[in-house]
Amino acid sequence: MNKTELKDFLDTKVKQYNHPHFIESDPIQIPHQYSNKEDIEIAGFLTASIAWGNRKSIINNAKRLMDLLDNSPYDFVINHSENDLEKLQSFVHRTFNADDCTQFIKSLKHIYLTHNGLESIFAKHAEKDSMQIAISKFKTTFFEIEHLPRTQKHISDPLKNSAAKRINMFLRWMVRDDKTGVDFGIWKTLSSSQLSCPLDVHSGNVARKLGLLNRKQNDAKALFELDTTLRKLDPNDPVKYDFALFGLGVFEKF
């Protein structure tokens, strides 16, 4: 395919998958249970943070975590007592255990009380066409309170060559207004043009088959290469192609 044919093909796949029926089988269904901005943010962040492995397991564990937070994630984060945190001791998703979960709740409380919430941190450090430095700064802020060193591994750092798939996915959910009701578009201080495609095994393999990406590892350098390519196809909304790459990989076994 030439560039025009490739863009037409991918745009068609975006329309196919960037549709409300996508929500039914995707972890994004968890924050869609809420209408309050802060509930959506926290539910989205916690869900994205455990979004690796089997999708059904991710969704089931995210639902369970929301139940443990009394299905009021913002209220729980802001008003929890030490006794409230005890019930989180039953939570585990792969290597994300109860101690990590407790640390995340404490760090989120610190961010909302001290830094005016998640959006303000990312917006403060965002660059014109990249969120990667902002993600690194976010990690620093997230762990500026006393914390367990083991929990740091659950937030990636692009400046240490991570593709930071889960946080880039979370940012897509919060920032991108897709007009179809899949992504939320509730963060108005940031733009889709600043976002990066959540790069994982599926999207990476499809991108390579289509000639969008040459680098073999799914790391920060590969993400930059893919970003550069996708911005040529749509500089205002490059991350929309996540739907095409993911859909082709997961649903069509492209």
Q: How many CA atoms lie within 13 A of 217 on its CB side?
A: 7
Q: Are 104 and 46 in contact (CB under 8 A)?
A: yes
Q: Return the pLDDT at 164.
A: 97
Q: Are 16 and 251 in contact (CB under 8 A)?
A: no
Beta strands in the chain (DSSP E): none
Helices marked H in 154-240 = 165-175, 201-209, 220-233
Which percentage of the chain shows pLDDT scores above 70?
100
For residue 254, what pLDDT band results from cuts at 50, 70 and 90? confident
Does position 138 have pLDDT exceeding 90, yes or no? yes
Q: Are 50 and 93 in contact (CB under 8 A)?
A: yes
* Predicted model pTM: 0.96
For residue 69, what pLDDT band results from cuts at 50, 70 and 90? very high
184/44 Cα distance (integer angstroms): 10
Q: Return the pLDDT at 253.
A: 86
Kindly state the average pLDDT of the residues 40-52.
Answer: 97
Helices marked H in 176-253 = 201-209, 220-233, 241-250
Does position 145 have pLDDT exceeding 90, yes or no? yes
For residue 84, what pLDDT band results from cuts at 50, 70 and 90? very high
Kindly state the average pLDDT of the residues 221-226.
Answer: 98
Q: Are 140 and 171 in contact (CB under 8 A)?
A: no
Give the tokens for residue 105: 């709740």
For residue 7, what pLDDT band results from cuts at 50, 70 and 90? very high
Q: Which residues of 123-142 are buried (b: 16+ CB within 10 A; e: fewer)?
A: bebbeeebbbebbbbbbebb
Q: Taking the C-alpha atoms of 83, 34, 116 and 59 in order, what is their torsion angle to the nearest 10 degrees?
A: 70
Nearby residues of 114 by Cβ (< 8 Å), 6 or more positions away: none
